[in-house]
């Protein structure tokens, strides 16, 4: 038996829950594992349970879908499901893997699920023999590629994708997936998120100011205000 992906539906409207639950039921490898009817309820469920994919509405009272994404940067793969097209940029900036407009056909639903599966199939991190030999395995250009963590300069978020900059490559590799998820996979004290769009190798930082850091290759990376304290902890 293959993998089963646990799904959480987050929407304040019952018809939306019924429609998505019906789509989930048609897929053998999906499991409808939870329903939240508000952002506050969703935050509690995400903190107490494990899910693989969440279907997230935008227009909800108290905590909107965008606010929930900002509050839960390490949440499961997120597929936005909404009646509004205005928030697509904000959703992708917060690492949504797809943005579906209601009413959602099963065809569009299936394509979004395939994106989620592709992400999960390509984000494994190999076990290390020593810290210097740890490698990150990911899918790029249609194939699986391994890169030593020690060779990575930084990773930049790019909507549904990321740019991985390596000391060994002249141009960045484009990787499918979210910055928050790859941060979990790296799980190394040598890497720190310095901005909502950047994770850097701390061993490659040559200097820093309050708003920027300079890497060994002289590239300048912006530093977000809320990440400043975390970054400072590496230089104590």
Could you give the CA distance from residue 54 to residue 34 in angstroms, rounded to a whole number?
9
- Residue 127: per-residue pLDDT: 38
CA atoms within 13 A on the CB side of 212: 6
Please give the pLDDT value at position 17. 98
Rounded to 5 degrees, φ, ψ at 66 are -65, -45
**What is residue 236's predicted lDDT score, i.e. its pLDDT?**
56
> d(Cα 50, Cα 21) in Å, to the nearest integer?
18
- Tens of pLDDT along the chain (236 residues) come to 468 999 999 999 999 999 999 999 999 999 999 999 999 999 999 988 999 999 999 999 999 999 999 888 778 899 999 999 888 888 888 888 899 999 999 999 999 999 888 877 655 433 333 445 678 877 665 566 778 888 999 999 987 788 899 988 888 888 877 787 777 667 666 888 889 899 999 889 998 888 999 999 999 999 988 888 767 766 65
pLDDT of residue 179: 80
Residue 108: which H helix or E strand, with range?
Answer: helix 106-121
Cα 140–Cα 166–Cα 76 angle in degrees, nearest 5: 50
């Amino acid at each position: 038996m293959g993998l089963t992906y646990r799904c959480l539906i987050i929407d304040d409207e019952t018809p939306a829950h019924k429609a998505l639950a019906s789509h989930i039921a048609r897929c053998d490898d999906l499991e409808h594992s939870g329903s939240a009817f508000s952002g506050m309820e969703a935050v509690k469920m995400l903190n107490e349970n494990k899910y693989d994919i969440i279907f997230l509405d935008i227009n909800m009272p108290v905590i909107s879908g965008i606010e929930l994404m900002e509050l839960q940067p390490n949440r499961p793969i997120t597929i936005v499901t909404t009646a509004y097209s205005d928030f697509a940029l904000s959703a992708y900036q917060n690492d949504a893997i797809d943005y579906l407009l209601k009413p959602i056909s099963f065809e569009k639903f299936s394509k979004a699920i395939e994106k989620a599966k592709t992400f999960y199939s390509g984000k494994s991190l190999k076990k290390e023999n020593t810290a210097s030999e740890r490698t990150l395995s990911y899918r790029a250009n249609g194939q699986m590629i391994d890169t030593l963590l020690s060779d990575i300069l930084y990773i930049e978020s790019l909507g549904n994708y990321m740019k991985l900059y390596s000391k060994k490559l002249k141009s960045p590799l484009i990787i499918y997936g979210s910055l928050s998820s790859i941060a979990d996979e790296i799980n190394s004290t040598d890497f720190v998120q310095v901005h909502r769009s950047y994770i850097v190798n701390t061993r490659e930082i040559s200097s820093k100011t309050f708003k920027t850091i300079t890497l060994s290759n002289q590239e300048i990376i912006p530093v977000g205000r809320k990440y400043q304290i975390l970054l400072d902890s590496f230089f104590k």
